[in-house]
Structure 1
C-alpha cells in the first residue's frame, strides 16, 4: 500500500470512528428505555424529556408524580422544549397567553469534548418571577462553546397553575417548587447516563430561579443533590419570593373564572380542576394593576406543617435563624440598578405622551404596598399609609417622581426588592457555611431596561439580568460589546470552576467568603475589572 492510499484509508477510518462516536453519544439508555438526541455542531442535545407525569385532569393542582412509563420504541428527544402555560410579560401583544399545561420536562446539553469522559453538571432553573419564562428562553450556546460542563434546563409549573394556595392541606401551594425538586432528583439519578458527574452538580438561576435555588437550600436534603448553588438577582428573603395573602388571591381567582364566592378549599379545587387551564391563566390579568405590576401575584408560600413533602413550613428567615438549612456552598448576587426591572416600566409613555411615572405621584399610597410587597404584611390602613410615606420620604425626600428623580426610584426598588435580601441572607448564613456574593456594574447597551422602557434617551444603569444574559443568551439583549464578551467568558469560567473544583474566582480576583461579624464582602465586577469590597449593610 503506497503512502497516498494509506492516508486515504486512515482518513476514512478516522471519519468512520468519529461518526460512530457521534452515533453512540446521540443514543442514551434510561430506566424508561432508549432515547435519541440530536447531534449539533459542537454539542449533543436531548430535549423535552419528561421527568413527571403530565399534570393534567385530576393531576392538576397536585404534587408532581414521577414519570415511570416504559418506552416501547426509542424516545425522540429532539423536540425543542415547550414552555409551561403562562401569562407572559415577554409577549408584547394584548393577549399574553402562551405555553401548554403538559410541560414538565428536562433538557440536557452535552459538549463535544473528547478530553472529558465525565462532565460536571450545571442545572438552570429559569427566571420570570414564578409567572412566566421557560427553558427555551435561556440559551445554552455559551456554555456549549466553552465545552467544560453538561447543562440541564428544566421546566416547572408557573403562575396560578404552579403556585395557587389556600394555605391549607387542600391547596398548600408550591407545586412549581415541587416540580423543580423532582427534576433535580431526576438529574441526580440519570445524568451519569449522559456523561455527567452526579457528584458535581451546581444549581443556579435568575430572579425566580435564584430564589428557588435559595428556597431549596432551606432543606438540608439539598446536600444530597447539589454541591454548589448560585442565586442571581433573586433569593428567598426578597419580599416577592415568599408572600402572605395567597388564600385571598386564590379565592379571588376562583371568583374571576366563575366558581362563585366560595369559602371552601375543596370546592375551589374541584371547580378549578374542571375549568379550562387557559381560562385560569388568563385570570392573571385581573391581578395586575398597571402593566405587569405586581410582577409576582402568585408565588411561593409557607406551607402548613402537616403537608406531606412540603417545601418550607417556616418562613426562610426563621429557617436561617434556626440554622436548619443546607451547607451547600452558595453564591448570591445583585446588579447595581436591579430595581430597573420595575422602575423602567414607569418610563413608558402613555397615549397622551405622559410617562407612567405620573401614576406614582397620583396613586402612591395605593401602588406602593403592591409594588414593594408589604400589603399583606401590615393589616392596619393607617400603618400601611405611614409605612408608604416613610419609604417615599427616605428615597424621594420632597421631590416628585420624574425622569429627573428616576435614579432615586431605581435605588428604592433595588434596595427593597433585591439588595436587602442579599445582605440579610449573607449575615444569617455566614456562620454555618461558605457564602459569597458579587455586585455587577456594567450597563448593557440594549438590554432588558431599554426593552421595558421602550426608549433609549435615559441612562438606566446596570439593569436586572444584564449579567445573566452574558451566560445565557436571550432574545431581548440585542448586542454585546468587546468588554462584555470578555466578562461573559470570565463569568462562565467562574461557574465551571465553582462546580468542578469548588474554586470561586472571577478573572484574577478570588472571592472572599463572608465570615461572622463585621461588614459583608462582595466581589465587584465592572467594565474595568474586579475587586473585593467590604460593604455596609442597609439594615
Structure 2
C-alpha cells in the first residue's frame, strides 16, 4: 500500500502531470523539458533549474539568452546550483573568491499538498551590493511551515561579470538586471507547473535585490510579470546603487589584466579570453581598505541607442515623466541598516580598531565609503564630510564606541533611509501606485554587524536584514541563535503579510494595515517593534 502511494504522488492536477519516480522525488514538466525535484518534510524543492544559456565563453559580457535547445532526458534538479562568481564580503579572511561563471539558475519550492489549488508566488532577489551573494542561503522553511505558497529564488551575474560598461567596446551594461528580467519571464511562463498562480506574484528583494525590484518597477511592462513588489533595505536612490564612473572603472580593471581598447571590441575580446577568476579578483585591487567601498560595479544609466537597454534615463525623470508599473509596492528598512556597512570599523587588529584610522582620515575615507565622492567635486566632498561630522555631533574626544554609533547612524541615513524616503515621496507624488512602508526596530541577538566585525561584545542595534531573516532562513540564525518569543510572533505576521500581499495586493502587519502614502500628504511609515506598531510621519527626507 505504502509503495503504491510513493509510486504516484500527484497525477494530472489541473492538466499538470506530477510523477513520482522514486520514494523521495517528483518529476515536473517545464517548457524546456522534464525536471526532477526532491520531496522534503513540508515541501518539494527544485534546485538548479536553468532559465538561460550559461553565460560563459562567447556569451560572457553578452545579454542573457533563453535556453536554445530543450533537453530530452529528465534533468536532475536536486542539488544546489553554483553561486555566481564573486568577491564575497562574508569570507572574512584569505581569498574572497567564490562561485562559478555558469550560474543562471532558479531554486523553486512548492507545497507538497495533493491539491488542485494554485498558490500565491513569492520571488526573492538576493542582495550583496551587486557584487556578491546568492539565493542559496535564503531558505524557504519559514514560509513553507504552512505550505500555501510557492517560493522562487533567482541568481544573476555579479560584479564585473554582470555590471561592466563600455559603450565604445560594445560591452552591454546591466547584464545582472537583464538576467533577473529573463528569470521573471521564465517564471511567469512556467510557474503554474509548480502549482504557482501566475496572477498572484510578489517580487521581493533584499538590499541590492530591493534596489533591483525598484528598477524593475520603472519599466511599465513589469506588471505583465508580477502583481506586487517589496524592496527590503534598498531602492534605486540609495547612493551605492547607480555607478557614475563605470566606463572609467571598466578601463581600469581591463588595464590591470593587460587589456586595451585601441580598436573597437579589442578590450571585450581580450576580457573574454581572460580567466573569469582573474576578472573578479581585480575587485580587491579596487577597494581602498578592508571591503570598502562595498560596491565597485553596479547598475548604470545606459545609452538611449542601445536596443536592449534596461535603464536609459535617470530614475527620477522616469518617475516624473514616464509611465511606470502601477502595482502595489512595499518599501522597508531597519532602524540601524548601516550597521552592516559600518561594522567593519569595529574589527580588532594589532593596531587597535579600524575606526581609529577611519576617523583620522574621515574627510578622505567617508566620501569613498558613502559614495558621495562619485557625485561631488573634491572640494564639495570635503565640505560634506565636515557637515556630517557637525550634524551628527562627532567629537575628537568621543570614545571609539561613541564615534562608532554616530558613524553607524550616518551610514544608516546616507545609505538606506534617505533613498527609501525619496522613493516613497516621488512615487506617491507622481504615480498612481499604492505605496506602503515600514521601519523595523527589534534587534536580533546576532546580526550582520556581529558577523562582519567578528565581535559579540557590541550590540549593533537592529541592523541590515534583521527583518528579512524572520522571513527567510539564513545560516547565522539557524546555527544556535533561536528566535525569541517576540521574534516568533513578528515572524508569523511578516510571513502572513508576504503571502497576503502576493494574493491580494493588500499589505497588513497582523491586524494593522500599513498606511497608503498619498500625494500632498506627509510620508507615513509603520514603525514595527516588539511592542504595538505605530505610524511615524516624515515631512522631509532627512
TM interval, shorter chain, is over 0.9
- Three-state SS of the structure 1 residue aligned to 2:288 is coil
Equivalences for 1:229-378 in 2 at 5 Å? 229-259=229-259, 262=261, 266-352=265-351, 354-378=352-376
Q: CA deviation at 1:458?
A: 2.4
User: What are the Cα deviations for residues 133-188 of structure 1, in whole angstroms up to 9, with x where unaligned?
Assistant: 11211111111112121001111000000001125571231000000000000000
Corresponding position of 2:521: 518
Between the aligned partners of 2:378 and 2:531, the Cα distance in structure 1 is 48
Unpaired runs of 5+ residues, structure 2, are: 11-17, 21-25
Corresponding position of 1:456: 456
1:169, 1:307 within 8 Å by CA — same for their partners in 2? Answer: no
- Mean alpha-carbon deviation: is it higher for 316-325 or for 156-165? 316-325
1:222, 1:328 within 8 Å by CA — same for their partners in 2? Answer: no
Corresponding position of 1:436: 436
Corresponding position of 1:387: 384
- Three-state SS of the structure 1 residue aligned to 2:143 is helix
Corresponding position of 1:485: 488
Corresponding position of 1:424: 422
2:471, 2:494 within 8 Å by CA — same for their partners in 1? Answer: yes
Corresponding position of 1:20: 8
- Three-state SS of the structure 1 residue aligned to 2:401 is coil
2:220, 2:324 within 8 Å by CA — same for their partners in 1? Answer: yes
Q: CA deviation at 1:428?
A: 0.8
Structure 1 residues 113 and 72: alpha-carbon distance in aligned structure 2, compared to 1, 3 A threshold: closer
Between the aligned partners of 2:360 and 2:195, the Cα distance in structure 1 is 58
- Three-state SS of the structure 2 residue aligned to 1:334 is strand
1:166, 1:265 within 8 Å by CA — same for their partners in 2? Answer: no
Corresponding position of 1:217: 217
2:395, 2:403 within 8 Å by CA — same for their partners in 1? Answer: no
1:233, 1:333 within 8 Å by CA — same for their partners in 2? Answer: yes
Between the aligned partners of 2:169 and 2:76, the Cα distance in structure 1 is 38
Q: CA deviation at 1:17?
A: 4.2
1:439, 1:525 within 8 Å by CA — same for their partners in 2? Answer: yes
- Three-state SS of the structure 2 residue aligned to 1:415 is helix
Between the aligned partners of 2:513 and 2:265, the Cα distance in structure 1 is 54
1:509, 1:531 within 8 Å by CA — same for their partners in 2? Answer: no
Corresponding position of 2:534: 531
- Three-state SS of the structure 2 residue aligned to 1:403 is helix
Between the aligned partners of 1:49 and 1:292, the Cα distance in structure 2 is 32
Q: CA deviation at 1:471?
A: 0.9
2:259, 2:270 within 8 Å by CA — same for their partners in 1? Answer: yes
Corresponding position of 1:7: none
Corresponding position of 1:36: 36
- Three-state SS of the structure 2 residue aligned to 1:143 is coil
Corresponding position of 2:23: none
Between the aligned partners of 1:452 and 1:464, the Cα distance in structure 2 is 11
User: What are the Cα deviations for residues 77-130 of structure 1, in whole angstroms up to 9, with x where unaligned?
Assistant: 112122111111121231011110011011110012345621111111111111
Q: CA deviation at 1:68?
A: 2.9
Equivalences for 1:195-206 in 2 at 5 Å? 195-206=195-206
Between the aligned partners of 2:348 and 2:491, the Cα distance in structure 1 is 33
Between the aligned partners of 1:371 and 1:263, the Cα distance in structure 2 is 33
Corresponding position of 2:508: 505
User: What are the Cα deviations for residues 218-242 of structure 1, in whole angstroms up to 9, with x where unaligned?
Assistant: 1001110010000000111101111
Between the aligned partners of 1:161 and 1:427, the Cα distance in structure 2 is 34
- Three-state SS of the structure 1 residue aligned to 2:473 is coil
- Mean alpha-carbon deviation: is it higher for 159-168 or for 305-314? 159-168
Between the aligned partners of 1:218 and 1:345, the Cα distance in structure 2 is 33
Between the aligned partners of 2:65 and 2:215, the Cα distance in structure 1 is 21
- Three-state SS of the structure 2 residue aligned to 1:201 is strand
Q: CA deviation at 1:506?
A: 0.7
Between the aligned partners of 1:311 and 1:240, the Cα distance in structure 2 is 18
Corresponding position of 1:410: 408
Corresponding position of 2:72: 72
Q: CA deviation at 1:398?
A: 3.9
Between the aligned partners of 2:475 and 2:485, the Cα distance in structure 1 is 19
Between the aligned partners of 2:33 and 2:394, the Cα distance in structure 1 is 65
- Three-state SS of the structure 1 residue aligned to 2:475 is coil
Q: CA deviation at 1:397?
A: 4.6
Between the aligned partners of 1:273 and 1:506, the Cα distance in structure 2 is 48
1:172, 1:304 within 8 Å by CA — same for their partners in 2? Answer: no
Corresponding position of 1:3: none
Name the TM-score, length of structure 2 as normaliser: 0.93
1:57, 1:273 within 8 Å by CA — same for their partners in 2? Answer: yes
Aligned pairs, number: 524
1:169, 1:306 within 8 Å by CA — same for their partners in 2? Answer: no
